Amino acid sequence: MAAASHLQAALRGEATEGYAIDDAFRQETAQGKMFGVLVVADESTGAIGYLAAYSGQIGGRSDQEGFVPAVFDYLQPDGYFKQHEAEISRINQSIERLESNERMKAAQDIIRQLEKTRRQTIENYRQEMKAAKARRDERRKNADLTPEETQRLTRESQFMKAELHRLKMSVSKETALEREYNAFQDDIDQLRRLRRQLSDHLQRWLFSQFNMRDKDGQEADLLTIWAHADTPTDIPPAGSGECCEPKLLQYAFTHGLRPLQMAMFWWGESPKDIIRHHLHFYPACNGKCKPILRFMLGDLLPADLNLPISSDSTNDSAATAAPQTLETVYSDSSIIAVNKPAGLLSVPGKGQCVSALTLLRRMLPHAEGPLLAHRLDMSTSGLLLAAQTESMYHALQDLFLRHRIHKTYIALVCPHADSPLLDGRQQGTISLPLSLDFLDRPRQRVDHRHGKPAVTDYEVIGRQTDADGHTILRLALRPQTGRTHQLRMHCAHAEGLHAPIVGDPLYGNLAAPRMYLHAARLVFDHPTTGRKIEIECSPDF
């Protein structure tokens, strides 16, 4: 914490020994950057100090004064990477010029209209054939049909089928404009393939230059590390090796320094898609950093890489002592609703630890089927609905899929200064599409391009001030959809309420013994009786 404070003072512009930070540096980092500190001991003298690093580049440089350098500096103007990057840029420019060709844009519109006309011509003839067939069928119903007329009707049918074939052949003939346009598109496709091949080659070359050193002095490049790591792909994600953690450890291991403690904090504005809070500490990301850390640290690696160094954060993986049973809130012959405490998994994790499902099976030894009709995050408390028969399980699943089970959650949130909740807005609807952050599971991200729709109604139902002077609002949240971490993201994100749930270990801005989110109410029509069921369970906060 002392090391982080020392670095933060320098970032604020205070005169701090060891750093030369100018206005351009501060302006860029104010837009958002991850910084890291590593407390180390000198192996020869035993002296204690710290190293500092930032992720990626600042001002197009990886060697700012006062910070450890990049593991591999590929930004040298005349270096291999820059030369080949320039080649790829030239291909990009060629593609852009071709794609902006006005004549080919006009040709594309003409060809599209031509295709439409062709399809309509064939469809019109099909309708004509259909009408002619109806007339023939009607005529054949009459008993006075002569052999000659029967033959004529057959010839008419054969002729029209042949005519349809000739028509298709005729309209399918490629025009000179289409031949030119297709050749033009082939040129663009070839350039795109070349660009992809060169990019893949350059990326692999770059990964092969990042030779990471472990605590025992052994080295391996990123391609080798990923080939032996338990990761979804054998190719590292772009930017691997450029985060704070590997840069700090690489410097320590190559300069006779023993790492003692490490922490990363966010400085400045949050990115648009993910959630980061100024001055908050964050663990290593799952996708890019953890495979490298597992190689570099080996048995020095903490048992739980998700645990931040700072006590200002809580964690999804820090479960409370498992209960022996669950409070039953509602029960009938086919349905049961229980109150899941915060810190208890809904279903067993990789370690097959105690979960709400395992407790339910103990409570209902004769129940059939999967039981749980839905799940709650481990950090969320409240109502879990389960079926005691397999048929009821499928009936409840159907109700959830059709959004016929209406849920109300209670949450305590700590709004940022620009939160709409502080402008007197007491209720409303948030619509922010979400998708998984593949490089940092299970975190979600706002994704306006590929995300799944996520909609939440909210209402302010209370206000208080905590002992430290923070404004805390009590919200009723009613999700219209059921995306992963939907309520947590909609509360925390700047495009949502910009008021993170207190104690949220992934997206929060205020520490607490638990995450203050509780599933408080379920309303639905009973699948068997049709009776309206209203189940309520008040939070303990």
* Structure confidence by residue, pLDDT tens digits, 119-139: 999 999 999 999 999 988 888
Q: How confident is the model at residue 325 (pLDDT cuts 50, 70, 90)?
A: confident
Q: Is 31 helix (H, G, I), strand (E, B) or coil?
A: coil
For Cα atoms 49, 51, 55, give the angle at the middle one, nearest 5 degrees.
160
CA–CA distance, 136 with 483 (Å, rounded to integer): 57
* Structure confidence by residue, pLDDT tens digits, 147-173: 888 888 899 999 999 999 998 888 888
* Structure confidence by residue, pLDDT tens digits, 51-97: 999 999 998 888 888 999 999 989 888 889 989 999 999 999 999 99
| CA nearest to 496, candidates 437, 456, 459 | 456
The tokens describing 288, both together, are: 């890019």
Torsion over CA: 378, 379, 385, 388 (sign): positive
Active-site residue set: 377
Cβ neighbour number for residue 357 with a 10 Å cutoff: 17
Task: Give, for 533, the enclosing helix (H) or strand (E).
Answer: strand 532-536
Could you tell me where the DSSP H helices lie in 348-485? 356-363, 390-401
* Structure confidence by residue, pLDDT tens digits, 229-275: 888 778 899 899 999 999 999 999 999 999 999 999 999 999 999 99
Q: Would strands 406-413 and 532-536 be described as parallel, antiparallel, or unpaired?
A: unpaired
Phi-psi region of 241 (alpha: psi -120 to 50; beta: other; left: phi over 0): left
Task: Give, for 30, the enclosing helix (H) or strand (E).
Answer: none
Tell which CATH classification among 1.10.760.10, 3.40.50.620, 3.90.1150.10, 3.30.2350.10 matches the domain 327-536: 3.30.2350.10
Q: Would strands 381-387 and 327-331 be described as parallel, antiparallel, or unpaired?
A: unpaired
Domain segments of the chain: what residues?
Answer: 2-72+210-300, 102-186, 327-536
Is pLDDT above 90 for 439?
no
What local confidence, expressed as pLDDT, does residue 150 receive? 86
pTM here?
0.77
Is pLDDT above 70 for 321?
no
| CA nearest to 391, candidates 524, 528, 530, 232 | 528
Our CA dihedral for 412, 416, 421, 424, rounded to 10 degrees, sits at 130
Q: How confident is the model at residue 314 (pLDDT cuts 50, 70, 90)?
A: very low
* Structure confidence by residue, pLDDT tens digits, 395-423: 999 999 999 999 999 999 999 999 999 98
Q: Would strands 517-525 and 444-446 be described as parallel, antiparallel, or unpaired?
A: unpaired
